[in-house]
Structure formats: C-alpha cells, structure tokens
Chain A
C-alpha cells in the first residue's frame, strides 16, 4: 500500500448564507480511497459543506483543492471536466421525475460519452442491477419506494464510474436493513471502483461501519473540532462534545 495521497484538500473554508455564518476556518484533507465522514449535530452545516465540495455553492472564503487544482479558481470548462469525475447521491435521490429510471441513469452517460443508444441502455441496465434494481428500467421515480429511489439515485451517481462519490445522508428515511445494505454497497464501491467516498451522515452505526476518516463540525462554535478516523476519535478524544456524539451521550468525558 502506498502512503496516503491527499485527494481533496479543504483550506480555511468559510461558508456563509448571506450574512449568516454557517462554518468558518475548515481545514482538512481527504485521502484517495478514503471513506470520509462529515458528521455533526443537526443544522451544523454538513450538507452545506457538501454543496461547497461539489461546486453548487461558492465559498465566501478559503479554497477547495482537487489534487493540485483549486475548484473555484478554475474556468467553467475546467470545472466541467472535474465535475464529470464526481458522482453525487442527493438526500432524496433527486431523480428527474419526468424520466424513467433507465433514462435517469443514461443521462450522465449520454452527456459525457459517445456510446451508441443500445450501449447506453445496456450500461444503464447494468448499473441498475448493481444497486439491486434489475428489471425496473422503465419505471418512473414516482412508481417506486423511497429506498428504491435512493438506490436508483446511486445507480445514476455511479453511471460514469466516478473517482469521488458524495453521499448526502444516505440512510435518511431508510429502514435499518436497507441502510445496512446501502453501507455494504458503499464499502463495495470503495473497494471495487477504488473511489474516494465522502458521506454526510449522523448515523452512528454507519459512521463506525464504513468511516475511515472524518471531520466533526460543531454548530455552537461554528467550526470543526476534530478530524480523523471516527473509531480512533472515539478511543482517544478527550473532547466531551465528540464523546457525547459518538456514544449517543451514554458516556461522558
């Protein structure tokens, strides 16, 4: 194994909505092949951080580096090339409701490759099968359950075999079994595709099951208070806020 290579580096990132400060001075790095957890209590800006990482919202200060490139200093065309290597699973799946599942998955493939229509259709079916949705190609998102929508969203996210996969609260609204399956799927993708994975979540079982690195955001001081392997954090951290969070408040510092 090589020594860890930083894949995504966040430097002094400050996030604001208008005048309202969300988080300030975030600095951490995500290594290639990490499963990186963004955790913290509700409303501390986890999803907002994700939006900054994937280029939906411009930071009000600081930089987000992908390899050597600073995302927000790139031209639009260069950003497009970077974006192409991302896959994102949104909180509610965010499938395009006017298209069938196969069309949803086919969209990124059609956007970025020159495969023929039958080839694209086959790839879409294959990706749907990967997430356990074989045979659902011609269903519309409104015709399937929430958990299935989420998996279909995952199929769309991995359509282009991305280098970085972002998950926004993957287990929100799923029953424990489905969320376990999704965790296994994330691990599988991490090993199989060698993808770097960034997960926003506050589900403790998932955090310990899949996380290999993390950042902990705090809503009161409005900045990060720890970064590292969550299991390691639980073992070594002296910070009562982190211990309370990682043990559901059952153990105090």
Chain B
C-alpha cells in the first residue's frame, strides 16, 4: 500500500517518471527523482505519467500530493527542462500551471538557517545600539516638546490630559490599595519574625514605615503602573500606528510627540507621586494592622515609633523617585507604541516590550538612586 516513483532514463535523454499511487494519494519520497532531474541538461524532457487514474480523485484533494508534483514541476522549470504530463486529469494539470504561472520573485525568498555565533552577537549588538539611540533621540524630542509645552507654545490637547489623569489615577486606586496594604503586611510579618529573636518587635514600625516611604511605595506603584498604564499607552499608540492614525496626524503638521506623548508623560508625572504617597500610607497601615493584631503593639505605640523612625527626607526621596519612574513608564509605553509595526501581532510585541522595558527601567534607576543616596548619606 505504498506509493512509488519509478523513473527511467531513456536513450534520447528523456526522463520518464511514473507515479504509482494508491488510495492514500502520493506521499512517497520523491528525493531520488528530484536528484536525477537536477543532473539533467537544460532542454531535455521529463514525462510525468501515472496509471493511478482510479485514485486521481483523492490525489487532487490531498494537498501533499499536489505539493510533491509542484516541487517536481518547479525544479524542471529551474533547470529549463520541459515537463509534460500524461494520464493526469485536467484538474491536476490546470492547478499546477496556475501555481507555476507566477514564478517565485527573485530575491523575495528569505534566506533561512542558523546564524553563526559571531553573526548573532553582531546582530544583537547592532540592535542594542539602535535601541539605545532610539531611546535617546525619543528622550531628546520629548524634552523639546515638554519645553514647548511649558512655554505654552506646544499644541497639547489639555482635555486629553484630564482623561489620561483619570485613567491612570483614580481608576488605579483599587489595585494600588490591594498591593500596598499587602506589601505592608508582608514586611511586618517578616520583620516580626526576625525582630522577635531580640525582643525588639516594636521596631517593626521602623522597618515598615522606612521601607515603604523610601522604597516599596514608589517601586510597587511603579511596577503596577508599568503593567497597567504603560501597557495601555503602548496598545493605544500601537493601534493608532496600525490604523495610520499617527500618519494622519503627522501629515496634518501635528507632532505626535506633542499631541500624543506629552499628555501621557505629563499625566504620569502628576499622578505617580500622588499614587506613591497613597501607597506609602496604605503600606504603613497594613503594617499597623499586623502589629496590632498579632503582636502586643498598640496602634498608638506603632505610630509613635514610626514617627520617630521616619524623616521628611524619606518621604521626599520616595516621592521624587516615583516621579522619575512615572517618566520612565510613560516613555517606554509611548516609545514602544510609536515604534509599533503595522500588524496586530506587532501591537502585542509593543505592549510586551513596554511592560518589560518599563520594569527594567524602574529597577535600574532605583539601583542608581540607591547608590546616590548612599554616597550622599540621605
């Protein structure tokens, strides 16, 4: 029950291929046939015949069968070998001549295959450099647009700023509430476990309040906003790019930077510090909850201790960090969106890269802040 390709080379250089197929169609290995066509001289003839007429109906339907015949026919065309069919029904030959009517465009087929290590390293470095310069030039354009905005010379839709403020502020409160309370609770539990060994549980208040104000409030709010708002920015701008809406702005002489990016950056610069303060407060409350319920620390003791521990500069540090995070999130979101390709999957890629680069930027800049504050003794 197998199909076979028999082939014989006749005296005048004509290759006769006979196809013996059964009800399962053609599925045999044509590589021997293909190899012998490859050795043929231009101008010689190939005759493809079959005696499988009863099975031609499934042969027509089964795509692999036609694909094998197509492969033979293209190779013949490439080698400038003339090909004739005998015994095939008209549907088959018609379909094949349709497939062959437009030859593969030269240079259209992409070279596939494994790059060597050095090539992939080269490609990776080039794309890294392109990404970095992309970031820098975007930042430059953005700063120029912001400068124009501050001098009230930019066309920035103020109405849009309000819409975006609402979108990334009040609407983010539930998730920020949940996460920051839980972070406060977690910090308090870990602290309590360790501090209990010294009988210094009261210092849980120090731990939670200092950690929330200096680090966790800003970082958690930042990560939430990167996943929520950064992704939304990338998706909005990416879809606009796919839809040619951004082209339509550009050709109207409206700078997408001023019209689309500035409102988003401004909204996040305003909203992030507010969200950060909110997260700080809720995180400290979460800590208070744990210490009053599971330890012998009253709320009054907790807040008293927290008041001694924290300084105004801790709050300012966290808040200013969050402002920087806001800018970074907005830039990664908008940059990915504006650089988006022209397809639906490109929007997906843009959103992913917005979130990833947003979170990486937050963590990197937080590390830089840590070093700076250490050196300055803040």
Q: How many A-B residue pairs have CB under 8 A?
A: 49
- A96 CB contact (under 8 Å) in B106, B248, B250: B248
Residues of chain A within 8 A (CB-CB) of B244 are: 90-92, 94
Q: A88-B248, A96-B248 are in contact. Are A111 and B243 (CB under 8 A)?
A: no
Residues of chain B within 8 A (CB-CB) of A96 are: 240, 245, 248-249
B277 to chain A, nearest CB (A): 30
Are B243 and A83 within 8 A (Cβ)? Answer: no
Are B247 and A84 within 8 A (Cβ)? Answer: no
Are B243 and A94 within 8 A (Cβ)? Answer: yes
Q: What is the CA–CA distance of A86 and B251 in the complex, to the nearest angstrom? A: 8
Are A111 and B254 within 8 A (Cβ)? Answer: yes
Chain A contacts with B in 75-113, Cβ cutoff 8 A: 79-80, 83-84, 86, 88, 90-92, 94-97, 107-108, 111-112
Size class of the B contact interface (CB-based, 8 Å): 10 to 19
Residues of chain A within 8 A (CB-CB) of B240 are: 96-97
Q: What is the CA–CA distance of A28 and B219 in the complex, to the nearest angstrom? A: 58
Q: What is the CA–CA distance of A220 and B105 in the complex, to the nearest angstrom? A: 8
Interface residue B253 (Cβ < 8 Å from any Cβ of A): yes
Are A54 and B251 within 8 A (Cβ)? Answer: yes
Chain A contacts with B in 43-82, Cβ cutoff 8 A: 51, 54-56, 79-80
Q: What is the CA–CA distance of A27 and B250 in the complex, to the nearest angstrom? A: 26
Closest to B155 in A: A111
Contact indicator per residue, chain B 243-285, by CB within 8 Å of chain A (1) or not (0): 1110111111110000000000000000000000000000000
Q: What is the CA–CA distance of A108 and B248 in the complex, to the nearest angstrom? A: 10
Residues of chain A within 8 A (CB-CB) of B243 are: 92, 94, 97
Closest to B247 in A: A56
23 A-B pairs, CB-CB below 8 angstroms? A56-B251, A83-B251, A86-B251, A88-B248, A90-B244, A90-B247, A91-B244, A92-B243, A92-B244, A94-B244, A94-B247, A94-B248, A95-B245, A95-B248, A96-B249, A97-B239, A97-B245, A107-B254, A111-B253, A111-B254, A156-B248, A220-B105, A220-B106
Q: 5 tightest CB-CB pairs across the interface, nearest first? A: A94-B244, A80-B253, A94-B248, A90-B244, A83-B253
What is B's interface to A at a CB cutoff of 8 Å? 105-106, 155, 239-240, 243-245, 247-254
